[in-house]
Amino acid sequence: MSNYRKVTEFKTVADFREYLAQENFLIPLVDSVPSDGSAALAQPIKAMGQTIGNRWAILPMEGWDCLPDGSPSEFTRRRWLNFATSGAKLIYGTEAAAVMHSGRSNPRQLMAVPGTTKALQNLCREMRQRHREKFADDEDLCIGLQLTHSGRFSHPNQDAILEPVTAYSHPLLDRKFGNSPADVVSDEELAEIISCFITAAKVAQEAGFDFVDFKHAHGYLGHEFLTAYDRPGPYGGSWENRTRFFREVAEGIRKACPGLKLSARLSIFDLMPFYKGEDEVGHPMPWGGNYPYAFGGDGSGLAMDPELQDTCAFVRLLQEYGVELICGTIGSPYYSVHAQRPAYYPVSDGYQMPEHPLFHVARHLAAVKRLREKCPGLLVVGSGYTCLQEYLPNAAEAALANDWTDFVGIGRMVLSYPDICADTLAGRPLQRQRICRTFGDCTNAPRNGMISGCFPLDDFYKRLPEAARLRECKRAAQGKPTKQE
Ligand SMILES: Cc1cc2nc3c(=O)[nH]c(=O)nc-3n(C[C@H](O)[C@H](O)[C@H](O)COP(=O)(O)O)c2cc1C
Ligand code: SF4
């Protein structure tokens, strides 16, 4: 564990606020969230062709626990029903659904293919019903399904061997993950992938989802195409070519699925790949000069472009295709996990945080704020709040009240404490024993071939045999360096 001061050390909002100010981490906090309906978190908003009942959003999270054919399992069902009964009115994507077998991030990833339509439809219907039973109304509940192809990080078959599909030969990622030019997807193969995205959107529409999210984040295929400068042919080089993959999928969905809303999860800016050094801390891979491969970056590979020129250009394109809501994120869980999931505890194949985790939380907030300022009319879901722990609701309310974001998305926190949304809105005290402490086991388990879940805090997962196996894997991983080149 890092030596950074922990959130639990601060006993009051005022103490925590003072510390944030002293460290220059710009994270606004309200003293408390009103529970009389006047909270910014409680306000409905018109989006995605409906009224969405409040500003809590559940971020998409895979569980590595679907059935071999890609349909949801009982584990998946339990998680999605927790999402549905959390009190959040926007379920932003539930989890990444692969559009084809070869694009699965793991052999147990959900798939949006004709064979899973019925199971998805049943679960989507059950989510609405359970939400209605708990909160009386589901008219203001909005549920999306995230569609992806895992690209460079595809592990579709048993034993989870990497079977990468890359947009282009990347000078650092190819070295880090052992990719070769043979992994670059051909234009012909891409045509099939595009057609699978369109079929997946039809599946989601038939299953009853309100929207599909086309993932352009975390180094997956859609995201990677945005920096395919070195790719020859119609999908690389110029801006027009690098966005052709998006345009062809979006155009296809528009034609095939009239009325279905589209959103995009977007890494607002990317970073260069990090590795664990001898000191166990994350370091950027060595690179001389301008680094063009971090979309939305300032050319250093380490920071956001303050003008967000490429990100805004992409948002304008999204808007041309009717996208009004996006979900902002940063970097990738595979090569810059510290930025993507700020945490006090490193994940088993990660490293100690190069900076204070709260610095990275502040960076998430700043990125969303900046994007909203630069793209009027765009609605954004913010991410990366979980590390704030007991002060998450205070920051969520402040970010909304100050117009820094339109929705506050929660990821890890909803795995350990789904009711945090409803408890906050009702003014109930937080259940401290359920607050996510960023232990990382929901990431460690799948990185070691197991299902994901909150093993430390959720009794359901604590009791599973995987909990003991996970402890063993973590012990074995201690001190091992990760791959630099
Ligand atoms: C177990 C796990 C699975 C995730 N799966 C997805 C996913 O399927 N799609 C996605 O866009 N992000 C995924 N993420 C990232 C989260 O949506 C979120 O961006 C991240 O956890 C940071 O938010 P937080 O600080 O609230 O956890 C995943 C995160 C975790 C911990
Ligand atoms: S395993 Fe539980 S406590 Fe740990 S990061 Fe995930 S949700 Fe949080």
pLDDT tens for each residue of 403-435: 999 999 999 999 999 999 999 999 999 999 999
The per-residue pLDDT for 2 is: 61
Nearest CA to ligand 2 atom 3: 436
Residue 456 CA, ligand 2 centroid: distance in Å: 7
The per-residue pLDDT for 1 is: 54
SS3 of residue 203 by DSSP: helix
The per-residue pLDDT for 484 is: 45
Q: Is the CB of 413 under 6 A from ligand 1?
A: yes
Residue 460 CA, ligand 1 centroid: distance in Å: 20
pLDDT tens for each residue of 182-196: 999 999 999 999 999
In the chain, which residues have pLDDT < 50? 483-485
Q: What is the DSSP string of 152-199?
A: GG---SGGG-----BSS--TTHHHHHT--GGGBPPHHHHHHHHHHHHH
**Tokens representing 477?**
């991983």
**Distance (Å, whole) CA 158 – CA 144:** 28
User: How many CB atoms lie under 10 A from the CB of residue 398?
Assistant: 20
Nearest CA to ligand 2 atom 7: 412
Contact of 402 with 28, CB cutoff 8 Å: yes
CA distances from 457 to 119, 140, 262, 414 (A): 29, 30, 35, 12
**Tokens representing 239?**
């801006």
Angle made by CA atoms 27, 375, 24, in degrees to the nearest 5: 20
Nearest CA to ligand 2 atom 8: 436
Bridge partners (DSSP) listed for residue 282:
276
Q: Which atom from ligand 1 is nearest to the alpha carbon of 443? A: 1
Ligand nearest to the CA of 441: 2
Q: Is the CB of 344 under 6 A from ligand 2?
A: no
Ligand nearest to the CA of 144: 1
Q: Which atom from ligand 1 is nearest to the alpha carbon of 387? A: 25
Terminal C-alpha separation, the chain: 25
**Distance (Å, whole) CA 369 – CA 364:** 9
Nearest CA to ligand 2 atom 4: 439
The per-residue pLDDT for 437 is: 97
Q: Is the CB of 242 under 6 A from ligand 2?
A: no
Q: Is the CB of 388 under 6 A from ligand 1?
A: no
Residue 188 CA, ligand 1 centroid: distance in Å: 31
Contact of 108 with 65, CB cutoff 8 Å: yes
The domain defined by 7-477 folds into TIM Barrel (3.20.20)
Residue 39 CA, ligand 1 centroid: distance in Å: 26
Ligand nearest to the CA of 451: 1
Q: Is the CB of 131 under 6 A from ligand 2?
A: no
What's at 445, amino acid-wise? A
- CA of residue 373 relative to chain centroid, distance: 22
Q: Is the CB of 420 under 6 A from ligand 1?
A: no
Ligand nearest to the CA of 438: 2
Quickly tell me which residue has 């722990």 as its tokens.
Answer: 389
Residue 436 CA, ligand 1 centroid: distance in Å: 13
pLDDT tens for each residue of 250-298: 999 999 999 999 999 999 999 999 999 999 999 999 999 999 999 999 9
Cβ neighbors of 450 (< 8 A, separation 6 or more) are: 64, 466, 469, 470
Q: Is the CB of 194 under 6 A from ligand 2?
A: no
Q: Is the CB of 456 under 6 A from ligand 2?
A: yes
Q: Which atom from ligand 1 is nearest to the alpha carbon of 215? A: 11
Query: Which of the listed residues 7, 347, 412 should we mutate to test ligand 2's pocket, taking the one with most ligand atoms within 8 A of CB?
Result: 412
